[in-house]
Structure 1
Amino acid sequence: MCIALISTAHPKYPLILLSNRDEFLDRPTAPAAFWDAPNSHVLGGRDLQRPIQGTWLGITKQGRIAVLTNFREEDQGNISAEKSRGGIPNALLTLPPDSDETTEQFAKRLIEEGVADVGGFSLAFGRVRKPEKGRWEGLAIVSNRTPNVEDMTHVATAPNQTVGLSNSLFGDSTWPKVVHGERLLEEVIHSSVLRDDAQEKLVEHFFDILSLDTLPKQQVGEEWTTFVGQLRRSIFVPAVGGKEVETTPADKLAAAEEDEEVLVQERRVERDTAEAESGAGKYGTQKQTVILVSTAGHVTYIERTLYGDGGRPVGNSERDKKYEFDIEGWDDI
């Protein structure tokens, strides 16, 4: 649950969403699929480690969409381990297909029911609808610190907006991976529009962004606490492991608390994960997702799984799952 990039800058796609899920690579996770009844209208992956089987990212046939990132707070030791943040996107996505609850109503219910006893999170969510006469419904962002609906941040409310969200509060500019990701997405979209790239080529460029690895190798004698600070620099996190990872909570790894700055040269992650060593007991980018919503309300959802059961690398021919559908009620105003 490391980075989400959202853009309205492409004229053919009113909403583009890119996501990397960073986790322990052997954490049991279901690949993206339409869920079982009564939630067969929901498309997304699921975390199988917790009984609630929450998700970090999903979209429904009616256009409801949610993406969650977590972050660690200093007082998080008091948070009950019984409550899973993955249940927060579930609450939106599993609304009945005929529900008319608005984004604001859901946020008000979420805040009033209380999220203070859940670990730090940011949720970007809403209902994707056809833009009409310059009116874009957009997405809202709420966190466990949001006091009321009036203080919610709204994004993707107009054309040519590109924003990023990672393991901190929205708008935290101290995360180089977010600043870099926003810039790269803007550049890729602009260049792609000029070339009039086909969707397949555009998606390839988006996965290139999600696979950009700027994380330096841990140096001999470098303290683990110093090295972890570099995770906030890289959009893609290659498998990092060892005893330090096994004894470090996922939230602390996601927080990437930085002790000193290290300048690195950009490098592309190796594309053939089949030859990578096992990810068991390691932490890194487990899944990557690209979602496109076209001007006709057609959804293209592509999930790339880099590590599967037990943290085993997934071969190139098996790692991608693609789903397509038309949003119900797209033209309804």
Structure 2
Amino acid sequence: MCLLLFAYHCHPNYPLLMLANRDEFYQRPAEPAGPWPGTRMVAGRDLEAGGTWAGIASGRVAAVTNIREPDIPSPPDALSRGDIPRDFLQGQASPLAFAEALERDRYRGFNALLFHLGASDELVCAGNRHQPFRFAPGVHGISNGTPDAPWPKVERGRAALAELLNGMPADLRESNFVDRALALLRDQRPAPPEALPYTGVGPALESALSPIFVRIERGDFPGSIAAETPGPYGTRASTIVAVHSNGTTQLWEQTYREGRPAGQLRQFTLSAE
């Protein structure tokens, strides 16, 4: 994932609402969200490394973003960051216990959002550029930097999600929530140059990566980077998750190809166990 927006205890019936965009090279093979055989997990699948970027199990939610740090080398025999949400969703550990048990030094930079519906409805951010911590109730955002870093897409997304939740009815449906959330996630406005973060990729690429919804043709990459890229890059999937206090967990996913919807909106519901 490259953008996570989430509302934690901001709705009377839904302790967690999450909106997310996955940005990736178009040619990297992946399967859209669906049930994983032998599990009660619903998630997309990265066919190159075998993990996932976001998914649900009954009362459990997990998603991961990478940290953009091009000058930091990968650790030896690095593990796939997509294993983190997969392993959390397939397990039973609490979010904090899972986060503390991760071999954090074996991954490239990451943030992982981990939620379990229970007595405390624990929402934790794991990572290897900070210590695990619990989120306070509120509207939060994570992109490819530190959690809640004021990147333009994070600030714009948080404000839009807060506005979306204002006056939201008791029961969320496609017409009153999902359609509007997808529209939020399709915002292609770049940030002004003075607001761009500095991550070491250069101002042209920082600008191209700054919208909530990303689309970059190979020729749009700076010359020094274009030769090393496998092709066009952009938002491949938008994921929306809603966890009801009764344990019902829902996921919607819209996939994209070169900026256009690829297939119908997919929807999955898991009942409380």
Q: Do the two structures share a fold, i.e. TM-score over 0.5? A: yes
Asked whether the equivalents of residues 241 and 282 of structure 1 are also in contact (C-alpha less than 8 Å), the reply is yes
Segments of structure 1 that go 5 or more residues without pairing to the other structure are: 217-223, 250-279, 329-333
Q: Secondary structure at the match of 2:55?
A: strand
Q: Matched residue of 1:77: which SS? A: coil
> Where does residue 164 of structure 1 map in the other structure?
141
Distance 1:205 1:64, change over 3 A: same
The CA distance in 1 between the partners of 2:77 and 2:146, in whole Å, is 21
Per the alignment, residue 233 of structure 1 pairs with: 210
Instruction: State the Cα distance separating 1:193 from its structure 2 match.
Output: 4.2
Q: Say whether residues 1:67 and 2:63 are aligned partners.
A: yes
Q: Does 1:92 find its partner at 2:88?
A: yes
Are positions 1:104 and 2:96 aligned together?
A: yes
- Which secondary structure does the structure 2 equivalent of 1:228 belong to? helix
Deviation of the 1:231 alpha carbon: 3.8
Distance 2:33 2:172 in 1: 26
Give CA-to-partner distance per residue, 1:55-96, whole Å, 9 cap, x none.
Answer: 1111112x222110001335522433652111122221222x
State the SS of the aligned residue for 1:187.
helix
Checking the alignment, whether the CA contact within 8 Å between 2:112 and 2:126 is kept in structure 1 is yes
CA distance in 1, matches of 2:173, 2:70: 46
Distance apart, 1:204 and its partner CA: 0.8
1:127 pairs with 2:116? yes
Which one-letter code corresponds to 1:126 in the other structure? F
Match of 1:285 among 212, 229, 235: 235
Residue identity opposite 2:168 in structure 1: S
Q: Secondary structure at the match of 2:106?
A: coil
Instruction: Map residues 13-92 of structure 1 onto 2, 5 A cutoff.
Output: 13-37=14-38, 40-50=39-49, 53-61=50-58, 63-73=59-69, 75-80=71-76, 82-92=78-88
Counterpart code for 2:61: I
Instruction: Indicate the structure (1 or 2) with the bigger Cα radius of gyration.
Output: 1
- Could you tell me which residue of structure 2 aligns to residue 267 of structure 1? none
Give the drift of 1:191. Answer: 4.1
Pairwise CA RMSD: 2.6
Matches of 1:243 and 1:17 in 2, distance apart?
A: 30
- 1:22: how far off? 0.5
Looking at secondary structure, tell me which structure has more strand per residue: 2
Quote the Cα distance in structure 1 between the aligned partners of 2:72 and 2:173. Answer: 46
Q: Does 2:159 align with 1:183?
A: yes
Q: What CA distance in whole angstroms lies between the structure 2 residues aligned with 1:319 and 1:240?
A: 24
Q: Give the aligned residue type for 2:110.
A: F
Q: Secondary structure at the match of 2:238?
A: strand
Cα 1:320–1:240 change in 2 (3 A) is same
Residues of 1 paired with 2:69 and 2:259: CA distance? 31
How many residues are treated as equivalent by the alignment?
A: 260
- How many Å apart are 1:142 and its aligned residue? 1.4
Q: Which amino acid aligns with 2:152?
A: P
CA 312–247 in structure 1, closer or farther in 2 if over 3 Å, else same: same
